[in-house]
Amino acid sequence: MPEFLLPFGPFHIVLLHLPIGVLAAILFVEVFLRDKDDRKLPALGMLYFLFVLTTAFAIGSGLIYEKSGKFGDEVEDHERWGFIFGACALVTYVLSWVRRKKKNPGVLAVYVVALIATTGAMVVTGHLGGELVHGKGFLTKGFKSDERPAPPPPKESSSNEPPQTSTTVSSGVTPSVLANSERMDSQVMTIAAVDPKVALFNAAHAVLERNCFECHGATKQKGDYRVDSAEAIMTVGRGRKEPVVAGDPNASELYYRILLPADDDDVMPPSKKPRLSPQAIEAVHDWIAAGAYWPTQAELDAAKGSHSNVGTPATDKAIATINQTGAKAEYNAWGDGSVRVDLGVVFPEQLGTALQAIGSLKSELIWLDCSKLKLPNGFFNGVTRFENLERLHLDGTNVTDTDLAALGQLPKLKYLNLYDTQVSDQGLATIEQLYGLEKLFLSGTKVSEPAVESLRRNRPEIDVVYRK
Amino acid sequence: MYNELNKLDELSRRKFMQYSAKALLGVGLASTSANPLLAATGGIRPTARNVIYLYLSGGISHIDTFDPKPDWDQQGPVETIATNVDGVQFSSYLPQLAKRMNHLALVRSMHSNQGAHEPGTYFMHTSYTQRGTIKHPGLGAWLTSMSGRTNSTLPGNVRIGGSNNAPGGAGFLNAKYDPLHLGSPDDGLPYVDRHHSVDDNEMRERLAIAEMMDLSFHKHYSSKKVNAYNDVYSDAIRLMNSKDLAAFDLNNEPQSVRKTYGESKFGKGCLLARRLVEHGVRFVEVTSGGWDTHDDNHQRVEELTAPMDQSIAALLDDLYYRGLLDETLVVIATEFGRSPEINSNSGRNHHPSAFSCALAGGGIQGGQVYGSTDERGGSVVENRVTIPDFNATIAYSLGLPLEKVVYSPSGRPFTVADKGQPVTALF
């Protein structure tokens, strides 16, 4: 669609009334000049011409208006009915001519049916369009009782919480006591640097970002309301009710709307979209209850720096160095700062550099993939420093039976892949002594079937994957 | 710090811990690599690194394959056979997969609301319904953009068979995440060799000249799109020089292995997919076409399943014995199922409201069936899984941050699997 047309989109709101008026005139003429064909038919001819013309303008401008993106998916029903209405209008126009030329009752009947269908389609289209602009249920709102449905019972407010919670905190126990394991402890301490108000905001903002921004953000502002900045979220939209009352969720229209039952006309997100989870609703509630504080960019940046980092700067540096050699190092997606290194994809001439770089990792390395590499002497001595190593891929490497002895120093080793290697029964005897092992791959090796059977018998907890 | 804490009202103090933890674990703005769901479900650590996405294009008849209904009078001629997992039955068209059910997590309660091929395929690949105003990225693009490539010289995202511009490409993300399309697995990667008259030096000179010519253009128009094209070119050069080009050549594979996969195009595609994943390609989609059985359903499904059954079984075995299945998620997907009723051409029509998909590997617990359909396979009666849910499960196994909002260039917010929730029961 050419750009220059876009400004004409809003004219849809004006143009759409013309076919409505003309259709009303047609109906009027049809009904009140029933037996005066000599006066009626010429008048109708003109009216029909005007009807089709204005309908075309209304539909055209509507399609342009849709491109503005101001309305979302809800516009689709209106659009579909608009096309149906347009088709009906055309058919009725043609039939009105047929009827003028051929005076027979059959044609007249078909014409009347078409005219009624057109009127019906117009009512539906118009109503759907009206709901887009004025909100769902706008037509009948005046008839319903003025009282709004009471919001669902508010969740337990902060005032009647079990008292021991507050005593725990205010009696001078440091947050670390609340944590029940060492790992949790370190996390709490890391977050402790974040302003709690910012943390509350982050939780609520994540909910808004995921569920509301699409229609109340930069690209669309349904109901003339948007939630993507501190000022905007407080600014009253077309709903004429204060969206967010700092400190009082139950007086905030935003909170009221997300609590409404799924079939309510006013519910947010709208009926067709997924409901918010109880946790998400709670996050919004707590943020508003705590004063709906919207941090400045500087505060957000500060918070970001202090808690989003998995791992340490030293590990970051090692990862960067390793990745320059073509090998792939990264934090595991488990959020625990552990590292995986895929050495198999290293540029062959840089294997030495990569191995050296891996040497700067230690306990954080828990997954090492050496598939298809020609490992240099001393590799297995070096590997023993990774005391937390859990997964080791040696498939397709030059690993020998004697090399495997070093693995005894890896107490956490769970997964060992020896597919397509020269390992034989002798190596299997060493493996039998690896006590943490849970999964072992032996296909394509020199081990014998009886030896595998004996390993399976002696260490039934190991899942041995083997075929001749 | 503690004094700061004391100044706050009661609520804030109590919630402070809770929400800080949430923020830390990735719900907040600043989440990067931490996956909130992992923390929430307590220590499941999905190990998927790569995805082999087997797409049965056209809509496979679930009743004639993964979800047989022996008591339904329009089941047709196919028999029901036992699998190697107690209580789970397949149709007799899938004898090989039936022996590998212990690897599969079968979802019999898939549900889509798109009943035509193009929108259905689009929805399956992107988790969003098709729109005129935006192109959504596919899972391969999400994966490579969020988690990067493993092999720096090979593309991270490859598509074998199917159409070059099928949905599920880079979408609004950077063009460099578009899948590399290989029309035929036999041809490997065409046009990757230098012309015989161009030696190393000549090549370098030519590249230098091209760069010189581009220089002023880049200076004047340094937009994202221009840079993206530049990235695509330099990726291509790196690919030409890659030591791993052999991964694309099926001739390097022993005859005995090639035989297990079969001679079908799909079988070769599966084999190529395994080779690519082995060399660090992260997302490979292999398409098998022709499942749109409006006519003569029973005979055609029988003909189509024979090579499909053989190839997927061979792929699962191969991955399993090599130890690749742990870190490779195999997905068997389609856009919709087919109607329980047989039509007048003895075919079955489109049926999006209930169908089957399957997952294997990548930390998935094999040997389980999730969800079920009614006695005729017409609607889901238990544990409905929507398309976004299914894709969220894939993303979850890869450790992708499901909550992370990514903005399109026009400023619209999107997430990996829209608002889908992962089916954690499968892990």
Among B5, B33, B147, most A C-beta atoms within 10 A, so best to mutate, is B33
pLDDT of B44 > 80? The answer is: no
Select from A221, A255, A262 the least CA-distant residue to A238: A221
In this predicted complex, what is the ipTM?
0.83
The shortest CB-CB distance from B30 to any of A196, A218, A308 is to A308
> What are the DSSP calls for A24-61, one per residue?
HHHHHHHHHTTT-HHHHHHHHHHHHHHHHHHHHHHHHH
Residue A323: count of CB within 10 angstroms of its CB: 17
Which residues of chain A neighbour B147 with C-beta distances below 8 Å? 330, 333
**What average pLDDT does the segment A240-250 reach?**
87
pLDDT for A306 beyond 70: no
Which residue is closest to B42 within chain A, CA to CA?
A334
Alpha-carbon gap, residue B387 to B128, rounded angstroms: 9
Q: How far is Cα B228 from Cα B223, in angstroms, rounded to an integer?
A: 9
| Mean pLDDT, residues A271-279 | 82
Residues 43-62 of A with CB under 8 A from B: none
Task: Provide the percentage of residues in chain B whose pLDDT is more than 90.
Answer: 62
User: Which residues from A are below 8 Å from B113, CB to CB?
Assistant: none
Q: What is the pLDDT of residues A107-142, one digit of tens each?
A: 889 999 999 999 999 999 999 998 888 777 778 777
Nearest chain A Cα distance for residue B145, angstroms: 14
Give CA–CA dist B124/B53, Å, rounded. Answer: 11
- B181 pLDDT exceeds 80? yes
Residue B25's pLDDT is what?
40
**Does A219 contact B at CB distance below 8 Å?**
yes
Q: Using CB atoms, which residue from A190, A206, A335 is nearest to B28?
A: A206
Q: Which residue has the higher pLDDT, A95 or A273?
A: A95
Q: What is the pLDDT of residues B199-233, one digit of tens each?
A: 889 988 998 998 888 888 888 887 777 777 778 78
Give me the count of residues in chain B: 427
pLDDT digits (tens, 9 = 90+) for B278-294: 999 999 999 999 999 99
A447 pLDDT band, cuts 50/70/90, is very high
pLDDT value at residue A231: 85
| Segment A151-200, tens digit of pLDDT | 555 444 443 333 333 333 333 333 333 333 333 333 333 344 567 788 88
Which amino acid is present at B292? D
Does residue A308 have a pLDDT over 60? no
Instruction: Give the tens place of pLDDT for each residue, B324-360.
Output: 999 999 999 999 999 999 999 999 999 999 999 999 9
Say whether pLDDT at B156 is over 50: yes
Say whether pLDDT at A299 is over 90: no
Average pLDDT, chain A: 82
Mean pLDDT throughout A410-415?
A: 93
More confident site: A316 or B37: A316
Query: A350-400, pLDDT tens digit by residue?
Result: 899 999 999 888 889 999 999 999 999 889 989 999 999 999 999 999 999
Inspect the interface and report whether the beta carbons of B321 and A348 lie closer than 8 Å: no
Q: What backbone phi and psi angles, to 5 degrees, belong to A179?
A: -85, 140
pLDDT score of A159 = 38
What confidence category does residue A34 fall into, taking pLDDT thresholds of 50, 70 and 90?
confident
Instruction: Say what the pLDDT of residue A110 is.
Output: 93
Q: Is A184 in contact with A285 (CB distance < 8 Å)?
A: no
Percent of all residues in chain A with a pLDDT value above 70, rounded to a whole number: 86
Whole-angstrom Cα distance, residue B405 to residue A206? 9
- By the CB < 8 Å criterion, does A191 face chain B? yes
pLDDT at A182: 32
Bridge-partner residues for A440, per DSSP?
A416, A464
Q: B302-323 pLDDT, tens per residue? A: 999 999 999 999 999 999 999 9
How far is residue B281's CA from residue B244's CA, in Å, rounded to a whole number? 11
Please tell me the predicted confidence (pLDDT) of residue B43.
53
Residue B183's identity, in one-letter code, is G
| Per-residue model confidence (pLDDT) at position A72 | 64
| Mean predicted confidence (pLDDT) in B30-52 | 58
Comparing A215-219, A324-328, A390-394, B341-345, the range with the smallest average pLDDT is A215-219
**How would residue A145 be classed by pLDDT, with cut points 50, 70 and 90?**
low
Name every chain A residue with its beta carbon within 8 A of the beta carbon of B9: 158, 290
- Whether the pLDDT of residue B8 is over 50: the answer is no
Rounded Cα–Cα distance for residues A359 and A344 (Å): 16
In the structure, what pLDDT confidence band is assigned to residue A1 with cuts at 50, 70 and 90? low
Q: Do B19 and A161 touch (CB under 8 A)?
A: no
57-86 of A, contacting B, C-beta below 8 A: 67, 69
User: Does A395 contact chain B (CB < 8 Å)?
Assistant: yes
- pLDDT confidence band for A148 (50 / 70 / 90): low
Q: What pLDDT is recorded for position A196?
A: 77
**How far, in Å, CA of A331 to CA of B147, rounded?**
10
Which of A283-297, B179-193, B252-266, B408-422 ranks highest by mean pLDDT?
Answer: B252-266
Q: What is the pLDDT of residue B243?
A: 83
Residue A200, helix vs strand vs coil: helix
Do A375 and A397 contact (CB within 8 A), yes or no? Answer: yes
pLDDT at residue A40 in the model = 83
Q: How far apart are CA A351 and CA A353, in angstroms?
A: 5
CA distance B101 to A326: 37
CA distance linking residue A437 with residue A412, whole number of Å: 8
Q: Give chain B's mean pLDDT.
A: 86
Of B30, B46, B133, the CB nearest to A303: B30
Percent of chain A with pLDDT over 90: 39
**Given this model, what pLDDT does residue A304 score?**
58
**A415/B16 Cβ within 8 A:** no
3-state secondary structure chain B: CHHHHHHCCHHHHHHHHHHHHHHHCCCCCCCCCCCHHHHHHCCCCCCCCEEEEEEECCCCCCCCCCCCCCCCCCCCCCCEEECCCCCCEEECCCHHHHCCHHHEEEEEEEECCCCCHHHHHHHHHHCCCCCCCCCCCCHHHHHHHHHCCCCCCCCCEEEECCCCCCCCCCCCCCHHHCCEEECCHHHCCCCCCCCCCCCHHHHHHHHHHHHHHHHHHHHHCCCHHHHHHHHHHHHHHHHHCCCCHHHHCHHHCCHHHHHHHCCCHHHHHHHHHHHHHHCCCCEEEEEECCCCCCCCHHHHHHHHHHHHHHHHHHHHHHHHHHCCCCCEEEEEEECCEECCCCCCCCCCCEECCCEEEEEECCCCCCCEEECEECCCCCCEEECCEEHHHHHHHHHHHCCCCCCCCEECCCCCEECCCCCCCCCHHHC
The pLDDT tens digits for A287-298 are: 998 888 888 877
Least confident among A30-39, A58-67, A98-107, A400-409: A30-39
Any B CB within 8 A of A246 CB: no
Among the partner-chain residues A166, A300, A335, the one whose CB lies closest to the CB of B38 is: A335
pLDDT of amino acid A3 = 75
The better pLDDT of the pair B242, B304 is held by B304
Among chain A residues, CA nearest to B241: A347
Gyration radius of chain B's alpha carbons? 23
Cα–Cα nearest to B117, from B195, B58, B64? B58
> What CA–CA distance (Å, rounded) separates A86 from A59?
8
* pLDDT for residue A150: 57
In the prediction, which pLDDT does A236 show? Answer: 87
Q: What is the per-residue pLDDT for A237? A: 85
Question: Which residues partner with B110 through β-bridges?
Answer: B355, B385
The larger pLDDT score, comparing residue B124 to residue B13, is at B124
| Beta-bridge partner residues of B413 | B407
Q: Which of A347-351, A452-456, B291-295 has the lowest mean pLDDT?
A: A347-351
Q: Which of B160, B106, B158, B100 has the alpha carbon at shortest distance from B312?
A: B100
Task: Inform me whether the pLDDT recorded for B14 exceeds 50.
Answer: no
